[in-house]
Structure 1
Amino acid sequence: MMTSTPGSPKLQPQFSLLPKILNGGIAGIIGVSCVFPLDLVKTRLQNQQVGPKGEKMYNSIADCFKKTAKAEGFSGMYRGCAVNVLFITPEKAIKLTANDFFRHQLRTKDGRLPLFREMMAGGGAGLCQIVVTTPMELLKIQLQDAGRSTKGQGAVRASALQIATSLVKSKGISGLYKGTLATALRDVSFSIVYFPLFANLNALGPRKQGSNEAVFWCSFLSGCLSGCISSILVTPFDVVKTRLQLLRKGIGETSYTGVPDAFRRIWQNEGPRAFFKGGASRALVIAPLFGIAQVVYFLGVAEYCLGLEC
């Protein structure tokens, strides 16, 4: 049963969990499949550290695309996509469903949802998702960065299963959760900004005829704009998370002991601009990803398949 849009002031009469989980999973698969090459470029740019003489492998988003495609072909642009698709289903399902659930629970008796409670709902959704996001990001980053960090070293690129197995054998399950704090900082802060912003932008647009739901283009543009703004604001956390989760460093690249150490060393060695490396490509990833995801989520695909009223 489709409920009213997040921006609606009306109290939702019921909360149907199963279709929301399925819609979130479908939304994640479609979204990530469309924007994955941009995400790969983002990861490589963020992990790239400038050499003592200013040397670096990639000079821009376009340069990274060109060099990656030339060296690794089309399949190289989708390196790590399989593991991302595998995990994105529960991740997006948790994120979108948890936000709806918390919004449903945090409404006042008269059906209103004040901004602070919207932010609480978003933050709660971001916190819930890290149980899946952290290992997904960890494995994805190793695969995405392989072409950069192993260039010229003759290294054999491991699969996601090999990386995961090796980590579990050497460090236990906790090995898959390297960078959890940085992931939480990024995802909780992102969700605190994104979900209230999306809900309020989406509420401003025209409604479908005979429905309280926003029209297709309104949800898409609201998701794109909210995702773009939120992703740019939390880019420093994403840079730190990406650096911490990279297990195999390139020659001469700095290692970090934790979040505070990463912030300090990046600032000292590379300056404040380094915290926004890959920011443009990240915005280009997140904007369409969440635009697509929100539209698919609210189209009610699962309701249709389950024979429920939309």
Structure 2
Amino acid sequence: NTHRDPIIDISLCISLINGGVAGLVGVTCVFPIDLAKTRLQNQQGVQVYKGMFDCLAKTVRAEGYFGCYRGAAVNLTLVTPEKAIKLAANDVFRQKLSKDGHLPLWGEVLAGCGAGTCQVVVTTPMEMLKIQLQDAGRLAPTQAAAAPGPAPSLVAPAARRPSATGITADLLKTRGLAGLYRGAGATLMRDVPFSMIYFPLFANLNALGRQSAGGQADVQAQAPFWQSFVAGCSAGSVAAVAVTPLDVIKTRLQTLQKGEGEDSYRGIVDCTKREGPSAFLKGAACRALVIAPLFGIAQGVYFLGFGEAVLGLLG
């Protein structure tokens, strides 16, 4: 004797559609910066790239403009369910934890924790594949620079460029399904704290200037577009920088092919011991520049109501 609330069902469908559209638009806009982040975080020893702009410039020279979008196909394919799960799960948890339209701070944090936990099922294999494709262009010049002889070329040989299907098939053949979920623990360690910081911070920034009858900020009220966008960017950048050390660990654990002289790691603890504290802030600026517009766009998409429009056409 089950009972399903049609209002919650409709709200969940709207959240899934909005989250999917937000992911597609956001990833398309910020993917080159995300590629630079991955390559900078994986650098050890030979410094092929001096920073984000140097990385992007060398990537364009060596691989063309579309080289900045290596791995984008995987991300665009899987980011729709990933962002849909993340944003929809947060909405559902917030509804369940709210009482009389009010959600305490502990409820906001708990809802973010639930959202971060749910998304890992898609995030881990998505980032596992994306990182291999993004980092492939870094490996050839790194290996060449470590070898004696003339100055290294920045161009990675086309024959060595992997494909998402090839990586997936190889991992499934050699390591089984667990191969695609390498670094799942580190992903969970990154995404749960991120969501616990991001969602409460966004909700309260988005409610600034609007008060409920009790005099508190009303997180349920509709904010103007610009406020939702700025709140998403601000909360995203703060949360992104806060968990950057965990993102560095995750990236390095999930990178299968290492350059000449670069370390391999047995696990999270082993990864934290190899380099000094400064290593854990590699790519922090890039990560903030990726996450800020990504979540600003996500909240903007929610404001514009693509999900409501789609369901209206279908209804």
TM-score, normalisation: structure 2: 0.87
Structure 1 residue 206: Cα displacement = 6.2
Corresponding residue of 1:4: none
Q: Is it true that 1:168 corresponds to 2:163 in the alignment? A: no
- Superposed displacement of residue 111, structure 1: 2.5
Structure 1's consecutive aligned runs of 4 or more residues displaced over 4 angstroms after TM superposition are none
Instruction: In structure 1, list runs of 5 or more residues that go unmatched.
Output: 1-12
- Match in the other structure for 1:131: 121
1:114-263 matches, within 5 Å, as: 114-151=104-141, 152=144, 154=157, 156-205=160-209, 212-263=221-272
Unpaired segments ≥5 residues, structure 2: 1-5, 145-155, 212-219
Q: Which residue of 1 aligns with 2:47?
A: 56
> Hey, what's the Cα distance between the residues in 2 that align with 1:146 and 1:308?
43
Look up the match of 1:3: none
Q: Look up the equivalent residue of 1:44 and give its one-letter code.
A: R
| Aligned positions of 1:259-298 closer than 5 A | 259-266=268-275, 271-298=276-303
Partner of 1:75: 66
Q: Is the 8 A contact 2:207 2:221 kept in 1?
A: no
**Pairwise mapping of residues 25-104 of structure 1 onto structure 2 (< 5 A)?**
25-49=20-44, 51=45, 55-104=46-95
Are the aligned partners of 2:210 and 2:221 in contact in 1 as well (CA < 8 Å)? Answer: no
Deviation at 1:308, TM superposition (A): 7.3
- Partner SS state of residue 256, structure 2: coil
Partners of 1:34 and 1:205 lie apart in 2 by 30
Say which is worse superposed, 223-232 or 57-66, in terms of deviation.
57-66
The corresponding residue for 1:19 is: 14
In the TM superposition, residue 191 of structure 1 has moved relative to its aligned partner by: 0.2
Say which SS state the counterpart of residue 189 (structure 2) adopts.
helix
Query: For this pair of structures, how many residues does the alignment match?
Result: 286
Alpha-carbon contact 1:235-1:276 (below 8 Å) kept: yes
TM-score normalised by structure 1 residue count: 0.89
Give the structure 2 partner of residue 9 of structure 1.
none
2:217 aligns to what? none
- CA RMSD across the alignment: 1.9
Give, in angstroms, the shift of residue 59 of structure 1. Answer: 0.8
CA distance in 1, matches of 2:64, 2:313: 44
Corresponding letter in the other structure for 1:143: L
Equivalent-residue separation in structure 2 for 1:299 and 1:253 (angstroms) = 46
Paired with 1:158 and 1:76, the residues of 2 have a C-alpha distance of 13
What's the offset of the Cα at 1:183? 0.2
Q: CA deviation digits over 1:143-167, x for unaligned, max 9?
A: 0000001334856111001101110
